[in-house]
Amino acid sequence: MRIAIVGATGMLGHHTALATSRAGHEVIVVYRNPRSLESIRDVQCEARQADLNDRGALRNAFTGIDAVINCAGYYPTIPRPWRDEVQIAKAQMQNFYDACADLPLRKIVYLGAAIALPHDSNGRPGNEELRYREQPNKKSPYLQVKWALDEQALAMAQQGLPITIGIPTMTFGEFDPGNTTGRLIIELANRSLPGYVNGRRNVIYAGDAGRGLVRVCEAGRASERYLLAGENMTMEELMGKVAVAVGAPMPKAIPLNVARLVSAWQTFRFKLGGPEPQVSDSAIAVMSSGQFINGEKARQQLGFYPEVSIDKAIARALDWFRGKGLVKTRAAA
């Protein structure tokens, strides 16, 4: 197939582009900024320029394409009202879907997020059938955005678009710009991590997640979700692995209510012209709102199994950050 990758200059998109090529497909990278192409020089591809805010450019970029994998997932970074974040995210994705609707695409893969799934009422690992009956009560911008985009994707699929949702869990690996999950590694290695909020997580190597998204594109069913799961662990266990990898002391767990107070104060300071919050609402949501995940559906229907352990994923990410000069402190010999 001729598969377009949107967001290929990001971590998941880069791994997905490489996995697409290795699977024997023709890769078309859709990029926004020409300067970012240097970061994917290891990907054999055709490059086409388009912006998610430009429906016409997207339609032109997707011409002659069999399938699209959209890895340009919207992620709230600077503090803004959650309704504004949702409006921006949905408008961008609607442009994307409208551009796709004009073309005879065989498959559209939306990159979902596990936080869009409610927790199982019986405490079992989360699965693809979980769905909020109504809008979540928590007003975290990250949760609200990912829930709204999940609902939007399912609604567009019901309207006839061949959309399948691939949901990698928390990812670590190479090509990480260091502004999301990779911050845990960078800041702990640099001894600048203020702490972490405990919770349950499922963690996967970004390269495995990229392979999984290709399998979703190849064999996933329209209107279906597929969880691309790695290893279930608590944030305490995960941070223990990171601490060992970087040679740092185990960081302290911060109570959730304290983390929220710190985030609120840092957000208030930011609105007065101060620095961006180090403890963001999105980071708190990622750490505290997760759950263990059941990846059986992807195993059964897609034949997807992770190949790289989380210890190796952390080590590969750490080597990447060191190579980019983002980590200053070396692990003790």
Q: What is the DSSP string of 83-131?
A: HHHHHHHHHHHHHHHHHHHTS--SEEEEE--GGGSPPPTTSPPB-TT--
Q: Is residue 11 part of a domain?
A: yes
The model's confidence at residue 294, banded by pLDDT at 50, 70 and 90, is very high
Average pLDDT over every residue of 37-56: 92
| CATH value at residue 103 | 3.40.50.720
- Whether the full predicted model's pTM is greater than 0.75, yes or no, is yes
Q: Is residue 243 part of a domain?
A: no
The model's confidence at residue 78, banded by pLDDT at 50, 70 and 90, is confident
Q: Is residue 223 part of a domain?
A: yes
Q: Is residue 185 part of a domain?
A: no
Least confidently predicted of 93-97, 135-139, 200-204, 242-246: 135-139
pLDDT at 283: 67
Q: Are 172 and 313 in contact (CB under 8 A)?
A: yes
Domain count, the chain: 1
Q: What's the length of the chain?
A: 333
Q: Which pair of structure tokens corresponds to residue 138?
A: 């928590």
Q: Is residue 213 part of a domain?
A: yes
Q: Using alpha carbons only, give the angle 272, 275, 281 rounded to the nearest 5 degrees.
A: 90
Range of the domain at 35: 2-179+202-230+292-308
Reply yes or no on whether the pLDDT at 79 is more than 90: no
Q: What pLDDT digit, counting tens, does each position of 19-33 carry?
A: 999 999 999 999 988
Q: Is residue 102 part of a domain?
A: yes
Q: Is residue 55 part of a domain?
A: yes
pLDDT at 331: 47
Q: What pLDDT digit, counting tens, does each position of 228-284 carry?
A: 999 999 999 999 999 999 999 999 998 877 767 776 677 767 677 777 766 666 666
The total of other beta-carbon atoms located within 10 Å of residue 321's CB is 21
